[in-house]
Amino acid sequence: MAAPHFIVFANEKGGTGKSTTAVHAAVGLAAAGRRVGALDLDTRQRTLGRYLDNRAASMRRLGAELPMPMFETFDPAKDDNLEGTLDRLGADAEIVVVDTPGRDDPYARAAMLRADTLVTPINDSFVDLDLIGEVDPETYKIRRPSFYAELVWNSRTQRAKTTGASVDWVVLRNRLQHIEAKNMRRVGQALDELSRRVGFRIIPGLGERVIYRELFPKGLTLLDLGQLGEVGLSHIAARQELREMIAGFGLPDEGESAPAPRAAAAG
């Protein structure tokens, strides 16, 4: 079997929808017929692990078979062999989704070195953009890449030297529809400029919808419309949003190699 494709969701700033995006991506890929493993590296919050625990409980309660990835929560107090855990999940999966903590963490940095696709969700604001690029307050142009962009640069460089493999860095713009139009344009222009400098792709992520939070206790997703009862147009729109996000990752089909990512430029 071909080596698994690792998708690592990483952002050192909390509140960006990272874990919600990761769990929906894992379930969405499973629903598309992919063999998916999922690993939660956030031992404290454990959002992805708890979400999938809730999903497993709903399947037992409802007597329903739902798309479900294999999943584990990493606990270094019990076993700090992250490489072994990733290898174990990858042995039975073609895609492994890794959710990292919203803080600087040595295991998150190690996971980034395994990433074939690195996904950084950000809310569409200059507060979140500051994580990856410093913006001039007068012109709104990028002054320089920030610490996180440098961290990703170093990880990509180290991976290329060690394995010869490259990393496709994807920045997700979450909660787009609730941003004032002028601010959205400014953030978009700054992101476009930064993407050319440090080499990432930009795709739309998930909107600000209450439904994502409401589904957590049952572990359900927008792909489980048969279990949701009354379904409105907002559910349908959110499901399409999720499908478009997953398509935007540009993952290889089973047995194919990953598409070539955009080359990063120093500085």
pLDDT tens for 110-136 read 999 999 999 999 987 888 889 899 999
Query: What pLDDT score was predicted for residue 259?
Result: 46
Cα 188 to chain centroid distance, Å, stands at: 19
* 137 CB-near residues (< 8 Å, 6+ apart): none
CB crowding 8-18: b at 16 or more within 10 Å, else e: bbbbbbeebbb
pLDDT at 179: 53
Record the tokens describing residue 76, joined without a space.
């270094």
List the one residue out of 150, 161, 163 whose CA is nearest residue 6. Answer: 163
Indicate the CATH number of 5-248 among 3.90.950.20, 3.40.50.970, 3.40.50.300, 3.40.350.10.
3.40.50.300
49 φ/ψ angles, rounded to the nearest 5 degrees: -60, -45
Distances (CA, A) of 260 to 171, 176, 199, 263: 16, 27, 12, 9
d(CA 241, CA 222): 10
Q: How confident is the prediction for the chain on average, in pLDDT?
A: 88
User: Is the pLDDT confidence value at 53 over 50?
Assistant: yes
Express each pLDDT in 141-189 by its tens digit. 899 999 999 999 999 999 988 888 889 999 998 866 555 677 778 888 9
Domain spans of the chain, in order of start: 5-248
